[in-house]
Amino acid sequence: MKRIVILSGAGVSAESGIRTFRDSDGLWEEYNVMEVASIDGWYKDSKTVLEFYNARRKQIKDAQPNNAHKIIAELEKYFEVSVITQNIDNLHERAGSSNVIHLHGEITKVRPENDENTIIDIGYADVNIGDTDKNGIQLRPHIVWFGEAVPMMDKAIEEVKKGDILLIIGTSLNVYPAAGLVNYVKKGTQIYLIDPNPIRLNYQYFTQIQEQASSGMKKIRELLLK
């Protein structure tokens, strides 16, 4: 059975109503990224950071997986599929994907601010100042912020190395280190990229489908199942 590794970004969840950060109407237009998505921002104003992610959690609770998520999950019937996502939502899992690596963390989980290994699933509940673990340590979102290491990167690299096909969907390959994963494909791996904007990738076996996530995934499914 062939191995497909899928690298997904914000464009996959955008069709589910999850606002992206980098588009013209994105969240960075309303918030200073360093105030709500950096470790320095957390220590400067934890209350604002918690409120920001509480709002994102409510948004994700009300969102539903779209056809792109569903087709990705459906591919598991025919291939061995690993999903490496830059998204912090749980829409891949809710669509049925069983092997998902979250590079940038998960919004439905928290951890003590001094311990990155003790992870607590809170679902869609709010987290506020004064919410602590059993040792009295303040809880923070289980999110990888600017200024922090990406702990799942090594696992993601190993998945990419094993893949027969790399499918990149909904990401412009501008965010590192995730964008660098394409450099770890084994020789001869076919790379497909779905994005409405033209993206150049200097690789022999590269094909772009210049469409939105859902319509692009329909074409990919037809192509892969031929």
Write out the DSSP string of 142-201. Answer: EE--BTS--TTHHHHHHHHHH-SEEEEES--S-STTGGGGGGGPPTT-EEEEE-SS----
pLDDT tens digits, one per residue of 165-189: 999 999 888 777 888 899 999 999 9
pLDDT, mean over the chain: 92
Estimate to the nearest angstrom the gap between the alpha carbon of 98 and the chain centroid. 15
| Catalytic position from the list 69, 92, 102, 104 | 104
CA distance 133 to 106: 18
The CATH number fitting domain 19-62+108-143, selected from 2.40.30.30, 3.30.1600.10, 1.10.238.10, 3.90.1150.10: 3.30.1600.10
Q: Which of 28-42, 130-144, 177-191 has the lowest mean pLDDT?
A: 28-42
With tokens 């489908």, the residue in question is 209
Query: What are the sequence ranges of the domains in the chain?
Result: 1-17+65-104+150-226, 19-62+108-143
Q: Which residue has the higher pLDDT, 135 or 20?
A: 135
CATH fold of the domain at 1-17+65-104+150-226: Rossmann fold (3.40.50)
User: Which pLDDT band, with edges at 50, 70 and 90, does 200 fall under?
Assistant: confident
pLDDT tens digits, one per residue of 73-113: 999 999 999 999 999 999 999 999 999 999 999 999 999 99
Q: In the prediction, which pLDDT does 22 show?
A: 52
Amino acid letter for position 196: P
Q: Are 60 and 107 in contact (CB under 8 A)?
A: yes
Q: Is the peptide bond before 141 cis (omega within 30 degrees of 0)?
A: no
User: Which pLDDT band, with edges at 50, 70 and 90, does 25 fall under?
Assistant: very low
Q: In the prediction, which pLDDT does 28 show?
A: 45
pLDDT at 26 over 70: no
The answer to whether the pTM exceeds 0.85 is yes
CA distance 14 to 29: 16
Calculate what percentage of the chain has a pLDDT beyond 90. Answer: 81
User: Which pLDDT band, with edges at 50, 70 and 90, does 124 fall under?
Assistant: very high
Sequence-distant (6+) residues with CB within 8 A of 105 are: 88, 141, 142, 143, 144
CA distance 53 to 47: 10
SS3 content of the chain, % helix, strand, coil (to 5): 35, 20, 45
CA distances for 159 relative to 24, 74, 91, angstroms: 33, 19, 20
SS3 (DSSP) at 84: strand
Residue 92: which of 28, 169, 196 has the closest Cα?
169
Q: Which of 25-29, 35-39, 151-155, 195-199 has the lowest mean pLDDT?
A: 25-29
User: Which pLDDT band, with edges at 50, 70 and 90, does 202 fall under?
Assistant: confident
Q: In the prediction, which pLDDT does 206 show?
A: 92
Q: Could you tell me how many helices (H) and strands (E) the chain has, helices first?
A: 8, 9
Calculate what percentage of the chain has a pLDDT beyond 70. Answer: 95
Is residue 102 part of the annotated active site? The answer reads no
Give me the mean pLDDT over the 197-212 stretch. 88
